[in-house]
Every structure is written in C-alpha cells, then in structure tokens.
Amino acid sequence: MRLRVAVIGGGAAGLCALRHLSARPDRFEPVGMEQQAGVGGTWRYTDLVGTYPDGTPVQSSMYKNLRTNLPKEVMAFPGFPFPEELPSFMHHTDVQNYLERYCSHYGLERYLLFNTKVQQVTPLRRDSKTEWNVTYCTNGKQHCEIFDAVMVCNGHYEVPLIPNIEGQDVFQGQIIHSHDYRSPEAFSGKRVACLGAAPSGQDISLEIATCAQQVILSHNKPRLPTVLPENVNQKTGIKQLTHNTVVFNNGDEEPVDVIMLCTGYRYSFPFLSAECAVTIEEERVTPLYKHIIHSRLQTLSFIGICKIICPFPLFDNQVRFVLATLDGSCPLPPAADMEADIERDFRQRLAEGLPARHAHTMGSRQWAYNDMLASMGNFQSIPRAIQNLYDEVHRIRVLDLPNYKNRRYKITGEEGFQEL
Ligand code: FAD
C-alpha cells in the first residue's frame, strides 16, 4: 500500500524527508508544504527583521556575515557533497545554494507546495488506523487533506527564548535577541553585553567586537580557554540590570548600551491540535521515542528536534529511521515500552547533571544515537571520519575562537581527515 505523507517545512530536514520518500514511489506519496516562497528554511537570508511587508514573521535567524560553524566536509548530506572550490567554513549563501541544488538534483520541487502554511494537524481514528487531517492555507485559500503519516520538519530557530532578567523594565539601553541580529555596524562605538556562549553567542560577540567599543561575553559556562580580541571580555551570567548597567552573577557591574540575548529558541508547533497530545515542558518535547516518533501516534514524526548535532547527516539518519518504521521493516515496540525508553533517556541526562531543558541535547551522544538508529533501521550510519572531524573542530573552536574558521580540511577515508 502507498502511504500519503505530509512533510511540514521545506528547510534542510523537510528536503531530506522528501528526498527519501520520493525515492520510493512504490511505497510513499509525499506532499511537502512550505510557508515561504522557496526552500532553505533558516538559510533563506533577509536583511529584514520582525515581519515582511505583508505582515508574516521573518523566519530566518541568519546574519549577514555568517560563516558556518561546521566545515562543509561534515555538514553535507550523505552522497551530496558541497562543491570542492568552497572553503571549509562557508558563507551562509553557499549553504542556501547547496540546499537549492539538493532540491533540484533530486527533483523535489514537484512535491512541494510553496507559500503554503500548515494551520492544523489532527489525528482521525478510523477502525484500528490513525489518519491525519491536515489543514493548510495556500495564497489565502484554505485546503484540507487526509494523509497516512505526517513528518514535522518545521525547525526550531524561529521563536526566541527570552529570559526574564531582573531590572529589564528599568534598563534604558537596547535589548535584542540574536534572531534579530543582522550586522555589526549598528553597534559602532557601543558597549555590548552578549548573554550566552553557545555557537551564536561566541560568533556574534566576535562580530560585534569589530565595530563596538567593548563587548562582554556573559555566560555561566567554564571560561572559554581562547585568546579573544582586546575589546572582548568574558564575565559570568547576568544577575540584574539597572537603568544603564549590568550586574553580573559574581557581583561585577559594568555600564552597557546594548544587551544581545544569544539565549536560544523555543520549540513551537502551533499547528498541532490538542488531540496530538504533544507537550513542551522546559524545552522538552514529549512523548517522542528516540526524539522522533510519537509513542502513541506512531505515524507522527519529528525530524531535527535534537540540538548540538551535525544537522544534515543526523536528519538523514532520522528520516531513514522513520521510513523504516513506516514501511514495516523496523517494527516499533509497544507504546508503554517506548515511553519507558523516553523516560530512561531523560532520567539518564538528569543523572549526568544536565538540566531538563537539555532533554534533546546530543553533543557527544549523537554518534551512538546515529549508530543506534542505523542499526534499528538497517541502514549505514555516518562514517567515523565525520565524527572525528566534528570532534576536532569542537576541540579547536574553544581554543582559537577568532581564527578556527580559517582552517581547511579534507576527508581522507572512512575514518580520517586531514588539515590542508
Ligand atoms: P529550518 O531551516 O528552520 O526549516 C523549517 C522550515 O519549515 C522553514 O522553511 C519554515 O518556513 C517551515 N515552516 C515552519 N512552520 C511551517 C508551517 N506551519 N507551514 C509550512 N511551513 C512551515 N547548521 C549547520 O550544519 N552548520 C552551521 O554552521 C549552522 N549554523 C547555524 C547558524 C544559525 C544562526 C542558525 C539559526 C542555525 C544554524 N545551523 C547550522 C542549524 C540549522 O538550523 C540547520 O542546519 C538546519 O538548517 C535546520 O533545518 P530545519 O529544516 O530543521 O529547519
């Protein structure tokens, strides 16, 4: 039987889902829905922040000068490399071009509805089977269609996570989230505190430092062991704001003009009806077996929920795992067993000292996770060379933040890589 599969989103995850679904026309009939006019998702850069002239929110969190924080050698989808002539750490436009070529190479346009926003997804119980009623709006016209399965690929870098900071109402300066950051010139001569030292905080603080008078990289992680430009200092997290200063957790106080919140994003699935029974608590999305499949509605899956990963290869693995569950080659355990597995994974993270909001953080866990999906789904996992180079870049980045992107690499075999 052919399954009709709705794919929500035409970013990297949605394109990957369409690629694998469309390769099996005997089993799957995919329909991709993308609210924007083209593919690429967060890589579709715009100078605009806030909303487009027609009032729709700007989805992209890219900034003008962004170069990738991973080398192209590990970023690529399996079997579809980036062009050889590009540097390892590419400009964001190179990634957008790559995704457009991926789309046309696999002929995915014909499965995609653009300017199409999914408004509601509702499960329909028919006999022992669950079907999905998907309501979407294309160019102002509403449609309803029934699908056998839904793959949610809507990304999670659009809705800013804004912390509640004491004194933010009295602070006279500017408070901006990195979602709305585009270029450093706006901060010429200013004193800026960047809150958060994940990849965005690290990258944006250095960019702003090229124009700003002073930048404080404020975070509660161990001090980054890197040399930083003279006008960048590391300080602890922010405790409080006064009308023109920041008070840090260690009691230090500094005058600042701008707070740049590099504090991450929230998961958001506004189109899932209450009957989908998906909950988000402290940035933990439940009940997702292996961070992907709804334990009680198994034809509802989510690609790309995991954080701190090598995104495109991991999406590819997750998609292939979902297809193996849909075509029956990877039977799923009973719901109760899946829920016990979800809980075990979460408890293990807490036991290792991670806060609940890191329920989907992978980091070094991602390699065993990828291998497990591949073994369950009976396909080949990500080559060790990708892991080895990814780990090397993570090691080098914190030692040499200002310069690590100048390096060039080459994959030399199943396990190896070489710095050129
Ligand atoms: P997205 O790219 O966000 O795509 C989701 C798509 O779903 C969007 O096109 C959106 O319009 C659509 N959508 C959402 N809701 C609906 C709806 N209701 N109806 C229809 N369509 C909908 N990764 C790397 O590998 N290397 C990097 O260097 C790197 N740098 C990054 C820098 C920044 C600033 C950010 C924000 C991310 C970076 N990433 C990087 C991670 C990046 O998010 C992933 O690489 C990947 O692009 C995520 O793809 P996605 O498809 O999951 O989400």
Q: Which residues pair with 284 in a beta bridge?
A: 281
Residue 413 has pLDDT above 90, yes or no: no
In single-letter form, the type of residue at position 325 comes to T
Nearest CA to ligand 1 atom 27: 68
3-state secondary structure 21-46: HHCCCCCEEEEEECCCCCCCHHHCCC
Residue 54 has pLDDT above 90, yes or no: no
Q: Which two tokens stand for residue 323?
A: 């297809």
Measured from the CB, is residue 10 less than 6 Å from ligand 1? yes
Report how far ligand 1's centroid is from the alpha carbon of 304 (Å): 9
Query: Quick one: average pLDDT of 341-348?
Result: 98
**Helix or strand (DSSP H, E) at 6:** strand 3-8
Residue 139 has pLDDT above 90, yes or no: no
Q: How long a stretch of residues is the chain?
A: 420
Rounded to a whole number of angstroms, the distance between the first and last alpha carbons of the chain is 50
User: What sign does the CA torsion over 338, 339, 344, 347 have?
Assistant: positive
pLDDT on residue 377: 97
pLDDT on residue 345: 97
CA 358 to chain centre: 14
Residue 346 has pLDDT above 90, yes or no: yes
Q: For residue 89, which atom of ligand 1 is closest to its CA? A: 28
Measured from the CB, is residue 135 less than 6 Å from ligand 1? no
Which of 382, 237, 410 has the alpha carbon at shortest distance from 312? 382
pLDDT on residue 336: 98
ipTM of the complex: 0.99
Measured from the CB, is residue 118 less than 6 Å from ligand 1? yes
- Three-state DSSP class for 317? helix
Report how far ligand 1's centroid is from the alpha carbon of 158 (Å): 8
Q: For residue 68, which atom of ligand 1 is closest to its CA? A: 28
Mutate to test the pocket of ligand 1, among 157, 206, 273, 361 (most ligand atoms within 8 A of CB): 157
Strands (E), 141-213: 141-147, 149-152, 159-160, 174-177, 191-195
Which of 149, 122, 113 has the alpha carbon at shortest distance from 38? 113
In single-letter form, the type of residue at position 83 comes to P
CA 78 to chain centre: 18
Report how far ligand 1's centroid is from the alpha carbon of 249 (Å): 33
Residue 170 has pLDDT above 90, yes or no: yes
Which of 381, 406, 383 has the alpha carbon at shortest distance from 393? 406
Nearest CA to ligand 1 atom 3: 155
pLDDT on residue 81: 97
Query: Quick one: average pLDDT of 100-108?
Result: 98
pLDDT digits (tens, 9 = 90+) for 1-33: 899 999 999 999 999 999 999 999 999 999 999
CA–CA separation, 223 vs 213, rounded Å?
Answer: 22
Measured from the CB, is residue 157 less than 6 Å from ligand 1? yes
Radius of gyration over every alpha carbon of the chain, rounded to an integer in angstroms: 22
Which of 294, 292, 297, 295 has the alpha carbon at shortest distance from 314? 292
Residue 53 has pLDDT above 90, yes or no: no
CA–CA separation, 51 vs 420, rounded Å?
Answer: 42
Report how far ligand 1's centroid is from the alpha carbon of 248 (Å): 32
Q: For residue 156, which atom of ligand 1 is closest to its CA? A: 3
Measured from the CB, is residue 152 less than 6 Å from ligand 1? no
Measured from the CB, is residue 61 less than 6 Å from ligand 1? yes
Answering whether pTM is above 0.90, one says yes
Strands (E), 171-325: 174-177, 191-195, 214-218, 232-235, 238-241, 245-248, 253-255, 258-261, 265-266, 279-281, 284-286, 288-289, 293-294, 300-302
Q: Spell out the domains of the chain, with CATH numbers in brackets.
A: 3-159+265-382 (3.50.50.60), 162-261 (3.50.50.60), 386-419 (no CATH)
Measured from the CB, is residue 22 less than 6 Å from ligand 1? no
Q: For residue 119, which atom of ligand 1 is closest to its CA? A: 18
Measured from the CB, is residue 14 less than 6 Å from ligand 1? yes
Q: For residue 117, which atom of ligand 1 is closest to its CA? A: 19
Q: Which residues are CB-contacts of 189 (< 8 A; sequence separation ≥ 6)?
A: 211, 212, 213
Angle, helix 92-105 to helix 12-22, in steps of 10 degrees:
20
Angle in degrees, CA 148, 153, 159, rounded to 5: 135
Q: Band the pLDDT of 337: cuts 50, 70, 90.
A: very high
Query: Can you tell me which residue has the tokens 């960047």?
Result: 194
Query: Can you tell me which residue has the tokens 């106080």?
Result: 253
Query: Quick one: average pLDDT of 81-99?
Result: 98
Q: For residue 16, which atom of ligand 1 is closest to its CA? A: 51
Average predicted confidence (pLDDT) for the chain: 96
Query: Could you tell me what percent of the chain has a pLDDT over 90?
Result: 95
